Chains A and B, each alone.
Chain A
Amino acid sequence: MELNNTLNPVIKFITIFFLLPILLLSCEDAEKKKVNAEEMEVRDSGIAELTPPPFVPKPVGNRPPKKLVINMEVIEKEMEMSNGVTYLYWTFDGTVPGSFIRTRVGDEIEFHLKNHPDSKLPHNIDLHAVNGPGGGAEASFVAPGKEAVFTFKALNPGLYVYHCATAPVAMHVANGMYGLILVEPAGGLPPVDKEYYIMQGDFYTEGETNEPGLQNFDIQKAIDEEPEYVVFNGKVGALTGEGAITAEVGETVRLYVGNGGPNMISSFHVIGEIFDKVYLEGGDMINENVGTTIIPAGGAAIVEMKVEVPGEYILVDHALFRAFNKGTLGILEVEGPSNNNVFGGKIAENDYNPGTSAEGTDDSGMPSEPIIELSKSEKMAQGEKIYTQRCLACHQATGAGVPNAFPPLASADFLNADAKRAIKTVKHGLRGEITVNGQTYNGIMPPQNLSDEEIASVLTYIYNNWGNNKTEVTTQMVRENR
């Protein structure tokens, strides 16, 4: 005790005279950094490289701050939302999301916002990377056929959303007016092998999901926050098939992920991968070893992952009905030698029969209800509905499937060869490698919880469409083969 008592003042002394200055110093450091950004001088000037999604401009590397001229154009135009569905998007540079802007701390930005003469509406831009009123919204307000120019200095490093902020703001955002601006720190972000630009958004159409034709904006659904589409990069399938992003085994992939909203928060996940690093909300704080990260509406995150094993990695909003029913699916295709050390794949398949039923009763016997047989036209009508709800998200409205991910049903040899197998597939699902029209697929189709009548209808619908062999599947066939 005595010792403690004598030591205490000493400790206090040490604290005050040694630690406090360190604390003060570190505060000063932080303050200095910001002041420095404000006072950084620019010598060179140049025009910013802007890229459409999913690409990003070259890293800033070691270049000093400079005057950066950004030319961006607002274009209102009709584009595809989904197969056979179009929408009048309001865009920055003709894409949703708008062009990716890459700059660095200390850059002086001269922003030229042009509004195409064909535009119906005035627009503007609010960049979350700006320190100033409205993020530039008022300074950039521009009528159709005009150009507004404003300047700002990039002070805070990070990944930021930009969006249109003209009344009614939510509607301008709902129509696709958002994008990302990256402000790199001095010296740039650490280099990686691949970088991509992905942005989620929710859309509100008058027609239900996948109702074909040009769809108008539905303000009531937007107010009720009931989107018909939740997608990556502006449309269903922007990042699948031809649009899939790619990497080689062993590479580190960095994704700049934003969320335009206007309403939905994204639970961003890559199936089969772990984010080695997440720059939370696009800021300085780095979290490591993350499965799913949250990206708020109007916010962003930078995620990095080293890809060790070849294959297809599915990007999703892990609010999964959005992914499978409303469009938030993307594919990261990784090529290279397999790596059994990291992923051994399936090495055995065994029977498992504990001899009891989980539900306590054994219902595996034949049901005794009478068979209901619908007419073919009734089956076609019912089948179309079921197809739209259960099958279309993967196999697509035209039965074309998604290359390398979901096999086609249109003119599909695998399907036409064996109706009994088709029945079993719908009832019990299917996993493992199959070959359809010469292409191999190795995925999982989940079992569908449908009645025998419903299976007969949906298969009859599929067999009597898209060049298939017009088999009429009966409820009796389903019952015998399920």
Chain B
Amino acid sequence: MKPITYFLLSVIFSLKVYCQTDSMVVIKGGKFLPLYGTSSEVDVTNFKMDVYPVTNADFLKFVKSNPQWKKSEVKGIFSDEDYLEYWEKDENFGKNRFPNSPVTNVSWFAAKSYCECMGKRLPTVNEWEYVAMSNAEVKDARQNEAYNKTILSWYETPSTYKNIVGNGTKNYWGVYDLFGMVWEWTYDFNSVMVSANSKDNNLYCDAGTFTTSDLMNYAAFMRYAFRSSLEGKFTIKNLGFRCVQDI
């Protein structure tokens, strides 16, 4: 082998050392109709998704090898003041969280950078919603009453960000914790953005005239409302992320 090949291999190897590769599952693409952003079905192509949200332990390894994302090092344009707010030190996520609890208080920039470091990327809103519409049995459980009640009940359970990943129910694709733990960043979280000047603003009072009483929309409304309240530098106690990968 030529030296250059050794070099490339060592780079790849070092990436593997510094960036954890988590377990992922294959999501077979398809068409579906999201609640917002389009009036027609969208195509989702095949991809792989992390089984669990990124944990404190994962993120600790990441900041160790990517010091620009340490609590004390992060740049103001990439994050607000609450970045890793509960971490005691740059390399210590504190006593109040478990290593395998989801990392939260991370900005979109940090989450995106983490995924890229892994050779992955953040999921799009459509990809996330596509996977999240399944329950344990079927791909699309959005009309299922129990599915919707489970989602709604999360909003009424405090401090779920302290829980351990993987304790919930595995969904149809083998993915855990899309609901019941933390909100998750998406790549284009603000693509269905509520702008202050928008007249046809379904996320505010017009929602009352939205032509549906489907339970599924109540749960989905909250996700879209939440995403639209965000900016890329925001860090929030109930907001984490996971990554996906193209196949």
Give the B-binding residues of A (Cβ under 8 A): 76-78, 88, 117-122, 124, 126, 134, 137-139, 141-146, 165-171, 214, 216-217, 219-220, 223
Contacts and interface: CB of A to CB of B under 8 A. Distances in A.
A371 B240 CA distance: 67
B224 A167 contact: yes
Contacts of B208: 169-170
Given A76-B158, A167-B202, A171-B218, A146 B225 contact: no
B15 interface: no
A139 B82 CA distance: 22
A259 B86 CA distance: 40
Give the size category of B's interface with A: 35 or more
Interface in B145-200: 148-149, 152-159, 183, 194, 196
B215 A219 contact: yes
Given A117-B237, A144-B236, 4 more contacts: A120-B155, A122-B225, A167-B222, A219-B148
B204 interface: yes
Nearest to A148: B229
B17 interface: no
A121 B218 contact: no
B234 interface: yes
Contacts of A139: 196
Nearest to A124: B204
Nearest to A166: B225
20 contacts: A76-B158, A88-B156, A118-B238, A120-B154, A121-B225, A122-B225, A138-B204, A141-B229, A145-B234, A146-B234, A166-B225, A167-B207, A167-B225, A168-B222, A169-B204, A169-B207, A169-B208, A170-B208, A219-B152, A219-B215
A134 B202 CA distance: 12
A220 B215 contact: yes
A176 to B, nearest CB: 12
Given A167-B202, A216-B152, A144 B225 contact: no
A168 B237 contact: no
Nearest to A214: B156
Contact of A134 (B148, B205, B217): B205
A171 B152 CA distance: 11
B213 A223 contact: yes
Contacts of B78: none
Interface in B221-240: 221-222, 224-226, 228-230, 234-239
Nearest to B153: A216
